[in-house]
Chains A and B, each alone.
Chain A
Amino acid sequence: MTKQLVKGNEAIVYGALLGGATHFFGYPITPASEIAHAAALYFPKTGREFLQAESEVAAINMIYGAAGAGGRAMTASSGPGVSLMAEGISYLAGAELPCVIVDIQRAGPGLGNIWPEQGDYNTVVKSGAHGNYQNVVFAPASAQEMCDFTYQAFEIADKYRVVVFILSDAYIGQMMEPIEIPNTPREGDRKDWALYADAESRKNLITSIFMNQQIQSDHNKKLQNKYRLIEHELLAYEEEETDEADVIFVAYGICARICYTAMEELRTLGIKIGMLRPQMLFPFPSRPIQQLAQKVKKCIVVELSDGQMAVDVKLAVNGAIPVLEYNWMGGVVPTVKEIVERVQQDMKGGAK
């Protein structure tokens, strides 16, 4: 199929509709607004529902309603909006409703600015609202993955009855790249637990309240078992040049793109460096990182945050090798040159 030049944010909508999305409820926010723009165009054009909600709070609750009614619903926002959705996400998790949420990360905290950051990692991957629950989290690094991961997200959301996040950033969202669209459009099936406003589904109840402690405890165990199953069944990451590496980058999203170029330059300079790029952040590729930690001498986590993902890398490495943190915040994005120079500096006294 012909490749077409598509903006990352727009590729989300292509992937969503081909993945069977039925509803988009959203509220504009830079740098995620193009997703709502494309959704406003393509959802009605293909007979699906688009509605601009009065707030992110309303949007996530519209999703709760549409998902409870058997739809494949989605929204897209950025940090401040995702924070507003937190309570609703916890309800979705508690009631086991599937949906897809896109977070095009911008700099924070507070209003911050509209440039890229990866400071929502904890909020999204560690599930930043109340209660014990977990989101499945994709981490695309190209327009193609924005499309493909969103396409897959609805299947995963329905299969496990979970919230699936696409955790991206302002640059991956704003960037245009050639993509190929998936060639098999999908549709959701009727769900035996959902509300269809008919006799067959009348018995169904969508709720997250269980007043009996034992029943609430059992419900929590059921959720935890589901998350363990997801960890067992889903994993997505890419390794580059790790076979004979002395040191590896671990990075996702825009940082992975920058590290890829830095890696190529460093290898021409004689430094044996590879990269592990998580394509999913929950489940996190802990085991592959652990295995690499047996082979390489250093690990460098490159993030646009205060080292939120580095915590997970350190847990996986478990002290076997040093884990260095290269962190940028506030919308400042490193140049390839900066990273190359820093690695050269750090490799002087360390790995041979």
Chain B
Amino acid sequence: MIKHQKPRAFFDTFERKGPGQKNTHYCPGCGHGTAHKLIAELIDELHIQDRTIFCSPVGCSVFAYYYFDTGNIQCSHGRAPAVATGIRRTHKDSILISYQGDGDLAGIGTAEIIHAANRGENLTVFFINNAIYGMTGGQLAPTTLIGQSTLTSPGGRVQSRDGSPIGMAEIMDAIKTPVFIERVSLATPGKVMRARKVFKKALLNQVQKRGFSFVEVLSPCPVNWKLTPSRARRWMEEKLEPVFPVMNFRETEDLKINKETIPPVLKGEDLLNVFRVNKDQLHPPKAKEISDQFVKISGFGGQGVMSAGVLLANCVIAEGRNATWIPSYGPAMRGGTANASVIVSGKNIGSPLVDYPNVLIAMNLPSLNIFEEKVLPGGFIFINSSIITRKVKREDVKSIYVPASDMAKQGGMLAAANVIMLSLYMLASKVSDIQTLKKVIPLSIKKKEYIDVNLKIVDIAIEFYEKNKDAF
């Protein structure tokens, strides 16, 4: 039996690297080689090589794909957990390794690691903490120790200026979802053997679909620490480990694994049916020839001005004409005056904006105040006289006063004053047959218990129209 051989999860020679295909690009005494080898051995041991996708970061391990004979994806700085999330949502059985340094994970990528952990992504994160930025030549890292000199903290890290070294394993431990959190060290052979066990546990969790495992790896960077490899390992034990305690933070054993319920992927006709509408049951009458309508429906938020516009547009379309609907949106919807613009035409509609309406449905006083002067000469203004106390000043328009709120209240639903006004506009203008509205209401109103009362309110409007025909 061969006891020591290259893991199969490494390439035989590093073709992707270019010159020097027998050696890694790592410096002498660097911890990445050790961490890589442990991972490669475990990929072999767990028989997961084919389904492993290695997510390499930005930093010294950016070139992990030189070495790992697995699927490889190189991620932007700090975002490997988000990239892995995207892959996880694509291949449920993949094994995803997010291998990140301290600048990547504890600096620029704090949001992505925290939220991937919080979602409990089935993912194994190896966080290589060497307390310095390696690839860019030795700058301050979020994990750099107080007093430690780097190129960007030449006199040593100062807490009042640079903050304190961040304990990422401790931060992970503040999140409920991860199933496994441990900090290991590569300072001594014994600690490397412990690391191997931890790495295995973290990968096995993923194989068993248990969730998010986080391993922080204290790792030497002799070149940037300006120490010999052996001094560097002593420094780890003397300086680094007291700040970053090597310990297990969490190991969830009795985890109940929820079986995922994956909805079926709809295709072909099944997919089309999700979006198809069948309005054949409407049997709408043919549209009457009337001039283009530029309608502005305006009122308080909650008076149903938007939905009145949608009902109107739906009726018109059902009868075979064109319509556009455009809302006032955003903060206007959260209180204050809201309005919907609807254009009805037998032709293609260019601008959907109603700058100058020929029909104004004013549900409240501010609406009348804003839009009265914009109405085209010869246009119509429908006034909700239940709450608008003043009269229309214009004399070149037709003004129709309707106590819509009172009528709707009597009909059993104050909020349906919009339907009173819409019905009367339809009856007066013949923009659409009132029977079409009665057919569209059941299809458009989401809360089914409101359908009957709305239909009753249409009848109240019809009755009002018949009694007051002269006013129209």
Contacts and interface: CB of A to CB of B under 8 A. Distances in A.
Q: Chain B interface: which size bin? A: 35 or more
A44 to B, nearest CB: 6
Nearest to B327: A174
Interface in B40-78: 49-53, 55, 62, 65, 69-76
A196 B91 CA distance: 7
Nearest to A10: B275
Contact of A177 (B70, B262, B324): B324
B242 interface: no
A49 interface: yes
B347 to A, nearest CB: 9
Interface stretch (B168-176, B276-284, B389-397): B276-284
Contacts of B373: none
A335 B355 contact: yes
A197 B88 CA distance: 10
B93 to A, nearest CB: 7
B89 interface: yes
B69 A54 contact: no
A5 B280 contact: no
A31 B329 contact: yes
B89 A55 contact: no
Interface stretch (B197-205, B207-215, B218-226, B263-271): B263-271
Contact of A61 (B16, B86, B266): B86
Contacts of A2: 276-280
A58 B350 contact: no
A5 B310 contact: yes
Nearest to A92: B76
A204 B52 CA distance: 12
A286 B326 CA distance: 32
Contact of B353 (A5, A187, A209, A258): A258
B314 A5 contact: yes
Given A58-B112, A185-B272, A337-B355, A31 B50 contact: no
Contacts of B50: 197-199, 202
Contact of B83 (A64, A183, A336): A64
A62 interface: yes
Interface in A175-216: 175-178, 181, 183, 185, 187, 195-199, 201-202, 204-209, 211-212
A96 B283 CA distance: 51
B159 to A, nearest CB: 29
A333 B268 CA distance: 41
Interface stretch (A68-76, A131-139, A157-165, A221-229): A68-76
Contacts of B317: 3-5, 178
A347 B23 CA distance: 73
A171 B352 contact: yes
Given A68-B73, A175-B324, A206-B74, A18 B271 contact: yes
Contacts of A337: 355-356
**Interface of chain A, helix or strand or loop or mixed?**
mixed
Contacts, number: 238
A91 interface: yes
A176 B326 contact: yes
A209 B62 contact: yes
A185 B314 CA distance: 26
Contact of B275 (A14, A175, A187, A211): A14
B86 A62 contact: yes
A71 B330 CA distance: 33
A4 B329 CA distance: 22
Name the residue in B16, B85, B267, B323 with the highest tally of chain A Cβ atoms < 10 Å from its Cβ.
B85
Q: Which 8 A-B pairs have the closest CB atoms?
A: A65-B86, A260-B350, A197-B94, A261-B350, A47-B265, A61-B82, A66-B86, A69-B90
Interface of B: 16, 18, 49-53, 55, 62, 65, 69-76, 79, 82-91, 93-95, 111-112, 114-115, 262-268, 271-272, 274-280, 310, 313-314, 317, 322-327, 329-331, 348-353, 355-356
16 contacts: A31-B330, A45-B263, A46-B266, A47-B262, A58-B111, A65-B89, A66-B86, A176-B326, A183-B272, A185-B271, A197-B53, A197-B94, A198-B50, A202-B69, A207-B65, A262-B351
Given A58-B82, A65-B85, 13 more contacts: A30-B329, A65-B84, A66-B86, A114-B330, A114-B331, A171-B326, A171-B352, A177-B322, A177-B325, A178-B322, A197-B93, A201-B71, A204-B71
